[in-house]
């Protein structure tokens, strides 16, 4: 993993930091695993804008990712590591021994030609997927399920990882990327290793146009709006805007919005750090 700082031969490249793409082995995706991706531009079925600051962006095709890793006991060879425009992490193309192909989230250190497998009786090596009940304590994991059979929903972005801290009965204690420690059923699947492209956080767009390529339109700061448009709007000149809050008036910093009666509260051992 590496990043490159471009020479400032144009104003847009002066502060630009791009990915080195050292881990990428091909720029041709597997056609059978592509799907069309329709964009709404923030409009609903009536054509009305219901989400601000969305629109434009480069045309993309969705890569169908196997988040469930339900093909157990069948080894697969890593055919390529590829870029995915729909996520920050890189993806790996697997060729199973029975001829099936699938994309998975690539872990750091996953190499072309490497064999990966999912199941109960597999070694805890990078790229292998197994239940939390079978993973050694202290192991760094990613792509976790929240409920058995649901498919990976946590620790999926670039450089993300969780850690298996303990096991007690049917529950496993997991330290999540946010800093939260919570209980998960030991039947949930997880993948060994840290998610790839950990240098993603070092990238710098360099110009406003790159943000537009990603489908994000310019965002108006609430403090420059009028009082009718936002609680932080109004005032003469550069007013402070009052306490940071959302358009609906909900405080933005330090205010807890999680319900005290939420059913899953009992599974949270320690809240995330502020």
Q: CATH classification of 224-267 is 4.10.950.10, yes or no?
A: yes
What are the b/e assignments for 41-55, b being 16+ CB within 10 Å? eeeeeeeeeeeeebb
Cβ atoms within 10 A of the Cβ of 165, count? 13
Residues 6+ apart with CB under 8 A from 49: 42, 43
Query: What SS3 state is found at 124?
Result: coil
Q: Where are the domains of the chain?
A: 3-201, 224-267
Given this chain, do its domains 3-201 and 224-267 carry the same CATH topology?
Answer: no
pLDDT of residue 1: 65
Contact 251, 242 (CB under 8 A): no
In the numeric block, the tokens 């290793």 are attached to 193
Contact 112, 119 (CB under 8 A): no
Domain 3-201's class? mainly beta
User: What is d(CA 42, CA 104) in angstroms, rounded to the nearest whole number?
Assistant: 29
User: What is d(CA 46, CA 146) in angstroms, rounded to the nearest whole number?
Assistant: 35
Which residue intervals of the chain are DSSP H helices? 208-213
pLDDT in tens, the chain (274 residues): 689 999 999 999 999 999 999 999 999 999 999 999 999 999 999 999 999 999 999 999 999 999 999 999 999 999 999 999 999 999 999 999 999 999 999 999 999 999 999 999 899 999 999 999 999 999 999 999 999 999 999 999 999 999 999 999 999 999 999 999 999 999 999 999 999 999 999 999 999 999 999 999 999 999 999 999 999 999 988 888 889 999 999 999 989 999 999 999 999 999 987 6
**Length of the chain as a residue count:** 274
CA 38 to chain CA centroid, nearest Å: 20
Contact 171, 185 (CB under 8 A): yes
Question: Between the CA atoms of 140, 3, 215 and 104, what dihedral angle is there, to the nearest 10 degrees?
Answer: -40
This prediction's pTM = 0.92
Integer CA distances (angstroms), 41 to 51, 194, 217, in order: 8, 33, 10
User: What is d(CA 174, CA 138) in angstroms, rounded to the nearest whole number?
Assistant: 10
pLDDT of residue 241: 83
Contact 98, 74 (CB under 8 A): yes
User: What is d(CA 9, CA 69) in angstroms, rounded to the nearest whole number?
Assistant: 46
Q: In this structure, what token pair is assigned to residue 208?
A: 């406003």
CA triple 230-231-234, angle to 5 deg: 75
User: What is d(CA 201, CA 17) in angstroms, rounded to the nearest whole number?
Assistant: 10
pLDDT of residue 12: 94
**What residues does 49 pair with on adjacent strands?**
43
User: What is d(CA 258, CA 242) in angstroms, rounded to the nearest whole number?
Assistant: 23
Closest CA to 210 of 11, 40, 4: 11
Phi-psi region of 122 (alpha: psi -120 to 50; beta: other; left: phi over 0): beta
């Amino acid at each position: 993993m590496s990043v490159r700082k471009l020479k400032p031969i144009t104003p847009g490249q002066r502060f630009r930091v791009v990915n080195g793409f050292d881990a990428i082995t091909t720029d041709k995706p597997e056609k059978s695993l592509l799907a069309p991706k329709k964009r709404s531009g923030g409009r609903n079925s009536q054509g009305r804008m219901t989400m601000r600051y969305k629109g434009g962006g480069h045309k993309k095709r969705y890569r169908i990712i196997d988040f469930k890793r339900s093909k157990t006991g069948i080894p697969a060879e890593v055919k390529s590591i590829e870029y995915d425009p729909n996520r920050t992490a890189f993806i790996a193309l697997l060729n199973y021994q029975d001829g099936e192909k699938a994309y998975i989230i690539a872990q750091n250190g996953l190499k072309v030609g490497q064999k990966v497998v999912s199941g109960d009786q597999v070694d805890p090596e990078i790229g292998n997927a197994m239940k939390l009940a079978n993973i050694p304590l202290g192991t760094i994991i990613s792509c976790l399920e929240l409920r058995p059979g649901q498919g990976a929903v946590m620790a999926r972005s670039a450089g993300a990882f969780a850690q298996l801290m303990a096991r007690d009965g049917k529950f496993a204690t997991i330290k999540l990327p946010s800093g939260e420690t919570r209980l998960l059923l030991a039947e949930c699947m997880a993948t060994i290793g840290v998610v790839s492209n950990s240098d993603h956080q070092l990238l710098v767009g360099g110009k406003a146009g790159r943000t537009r390529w990603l489908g994000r339109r310019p965002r108006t700061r609430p403090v420059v709006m009028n009082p009718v448009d936002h609680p932080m709007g109004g005032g003469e000149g550069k007013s402070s805007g009052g306490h940071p809050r959302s358009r609906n008036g909900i405080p933005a910093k330090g205010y807890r919005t999680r319900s005290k009666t939420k059913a899953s509260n009992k599974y949270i051992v320690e809240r995330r750090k502020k």
